[in-house]
Chain A
């Protein structure tokens, strides 16, 4: 059976199954288990309404438990076993891993990514949001800067690999160097700095995201505060840094953390650009180099990523709870 037909069937079965499940389960609940119209009508309606939310939630909860909750436990459990999965070695994988030079490089690089990419993307996003705020063609400019969001990390890597190409007749960077008479070099093999060339790709992609959200936040600032500042003689820079930025601090933090989480997941760029060579490995790409070879090590890396994400997760949940109480 060709995958395409299989796909159609899956859509039919999936959608039909979902609709059927929800419809049938509600029907059974109302007509069979707690029928209305008998002498216990009132009690039955209440009971049915206590069960119904769980009918609505069941498929989603099952899927999320299986695909997101179980892996947290499953990965940790698997990381305590050796490569073949037969021998329990406690924290052996972690011990070996933390002593590994490759892992240390990846960890340090990952911290650099977490520091630089969210900062860069948020800053540039804020800059563009502010600059385009009152511009006649601001929406076109924003749309164009937002565009890389639609491009896959692989596609973006290819686009930038072209810019970074070694040959001055192909790569823009080396063409510029060439016009100043400098010898061509490969930006991707430049120790230490190559990391930043890779990070810039993600900044390039994420600036649009930051811009869209911060731009909406800037629009939401009460006009009076800005007007009052201008009447008091504030110059445009003071208005921006003293009046506007403090008022959208909350949004800036949200953007920052969202990009931080993303940074910890993206392996595509490093994988496509350098394959983790030349000292550019980060944790997700380091993990992929062990995937299919040593599941014990791979899950250990994944769990380290989870531990790094944990503070953000807790913070997010707290925010959501505070939100719900308001």
Chain B
């Protein structure tokens, strides 16, 4: 509109800035969690992720080994360096747990019973006691440690927390639950789009109605049914459930697309003696590829991200947990405060849908449009 009504550069600036702001607000939460998934656990609780490129001031505790004691006059002296590798800068230190950063580096602190402690910025310490040192004295100090990024959280979550098993379970649920409904729906959609028969209008209305039936209704009756016929809570059960729940959308999307295919092609094929079965497999199915792809992406994202159906139709033992159940029911409880682990787990579960999303966005958008703007 700007090009028509003359350039309004100030408005254009406002638009640009507003969009930048919106995008930033939309991205920040995800970016924050992504960065945190690479950070060290102690650093996460010490500073916010937005400060992650900077050194982190962390409190440490050092046990000065009492074996190195030297007798200096009537004092017993322990000295050494609090940094094992000799790198780092001590900012403050203290002699007791209750006040770990009481004194500035270089200061000589008077502790109880006539003992003194000095810690220098470079990490050297000097501990003097008038009496015999019975236990390793604790030195508390704060030092800035450089930012640490690593894959340690991912290694932990995959190796020791069974997230790899959950990943495989998710994949196991998703793939059949995506492929099977497509085929069933494609045949039905063809019948609803290109075959004339009594009750077609009613069936189309039925599909549209079923599109919005809340899943919640299905949970109890179908689980009871599954238990009765011996499927119980199992992968077979969840595949069937996802197939059933996905069909209305599949049929609706595919039918909308197939109806739009050129009538001439289909009719001339029929005139040439092709049966409906041949028309479907040789002409309609290949032409409907974009719609099939859209639905496949929807169904894939939906089954991959599903929590409700997995909680109800899969066994509740940890061997069959999919990733969403694993995160919601296990990790959030047992690792509640361990954000590095939680973040890594979240990104393990998000990674595949994000890849699918960014590579297949075109089909996803097309599917959304076919499904709604009709």
Interface residues of A (CB under 8 A from B): 3-4, 6-7, 10-11, 14-15, 18-19, 22-23, 26, 30, 49-50, 52-54, 56-57, 59-61, 63-64, 66-72, 74-75, 78, 124, 127-128, 131-132, 134-135, 138, 141, 143-155, 157-163, 165, 167-170, 172, 175, 204, 207, 209, 212-213, 216-217, 226-227, 230, 236, 239, 251, 254-255, 258, 261, 264-265, 267-268, 271-272, 284, 287-288, 291, 295, 298-299, 301-303, 305-306, 309, 312-313, 316-317, 319-321, 323-324
Contacts and interface: CB of A to CB of B under 8 A. Distances in A.
Interface in B15-37: 15-16, 18-19, 22-23, 26-30, 32-33, 36
B15 A152 contact: no
A298 to B, nearest CB: 6
B191 A10 contact: no
B251 interface: yes
Contact of B184 (A59, A148, A230, A288): A59
Interface string B303-314: 011111001100
Question: Which 8 pairs across A and B sit closest by C-beta, in order of nearness?
Answer: A67-B244, A74-B221, A152-B305, A150-B357, A60-B188, A56-B191, A71-B218, A302-B216
* Interface of A: prevailing SS: helix
Interface residues of B, number: 118
21 contacts: A6-B235, A14-B180, A52-B276, A60-B185, A63-B240, A63-B243, A67-B243, A68-B213, A75-B218, A75-B220, A75-B221, A128-B22, A131-B18, A153-B305, A154-B328, A163-B28, A172-B50, A236-B11, A267-B307, A299-B217, A324-B204
Nearest to A272: B328
Interface in B322-374: 324, 327-328, 332, 339, 342-343, 345-346, 349-350, 353-354, 356-358, 361, 364-365, 368-369, 372-374
B214 A131 contact: no
Given A75-B221, A271-B307, A7 B235 contact: yes
A316 B213 CA distance: 12
* Interface of B: prevailing SS: helix
Interface of B: 1-2, 4-5, 8, 11, 15-16, 18-19, 22-23, 26-30, 32-33, 36, 44-50, 168-169, 171-172, 175-176, 179-181, 183-185, 187-188, 190-192, 195, 197, 200-201, 203-222, 224-225, 235-236, 239-241, 243-245, 247-248, 251, 275-277, 280, 301, 304-308, 311-312, 320, 324, 327-328, 332, 339, 342-343, 345-346, 349-350, 353-354, 356-358, 361, 364-365, 368-369, 372-374
Contacts of B19: 128, 131-132, 135, 138, 141
A52 B307 CA distance: 38
B16 A146 contact: no
A144 B172 CA distance: 29
